[in-house]
Amino acid sequence: MNASMKTTAASISLSVIVAVFGSAVASAADVRLYTANKLLQQRQISLVRNTDEPGCHNLITRRKVYRVAQIGFKSCTLYAKKDCEVGTEIGVSWKNKKPPVNDFTSGARWFLPGERGSKMASWKCEEDS
């Protein structure tokens, strides 16, 4: 194999690696919702569908949510009512120390208002460009 063929083979291999890892990173977006008991011990809410998809999604039933984590999306918003009804946005606070915001970025320490959280019904996330 001459030098030109080796360079071409290396270039193709690199393109395949970038394509594989690039798509893996793109699909790594996720939203996780957590409840808290009276001792504030947290537990991830299971059976939540479409957490890795952008757009508006409803919970099967309204749930009291204490904390939310999201990664890989540009931003997300939580709603008290189904179908991401405008005017029902729930403000979340970073580490329970910052003022609440409706659109939150990546992070694992976004807390909903209330001692053990707030009832929510839907969320909407925007793709990271």
- Tell me if residue 19 falls in helix, strand or coil: helix
Walk along the chain (129 residues) and give the pLDDT tens digit of each residue: 555 544 444 444 433 333 333 434 445 899 999 999 999 999 999 999 999 999 999 999 999 999 999 999 999 999 999 999 999 999 999 998 999 999 999 999 999 999 999 999 999 999 987
Q: Determine the structural domain holding residue 67 and report its residue range.
A: 29-127
**Residue 57: inside a domain, yes or no?**
yes
118 in a structural domain: yes
Instruction: For residues 124 and 75, give the distance between their C-alpha atoms in angstroms, rounded to a whole number.
Output: 8
Q: Specify the number of domains making up the chain.
A: 1
What would the two tokens of residue 70 be?
A: 């999201």
In a domain, 70, yes or no: yes
**Please, what is the end-to-end C-alpha distance for the chain in angstroms?**
40
What pairing do the DSSP bridges indicate for beta strands 107-111 and 42-44?
Answer: unpaired
How long is the chain? Answer: 129
**DSSP SS3 for 7:** helix
pTM of the model: 0.78
pLDDT of 96: 87
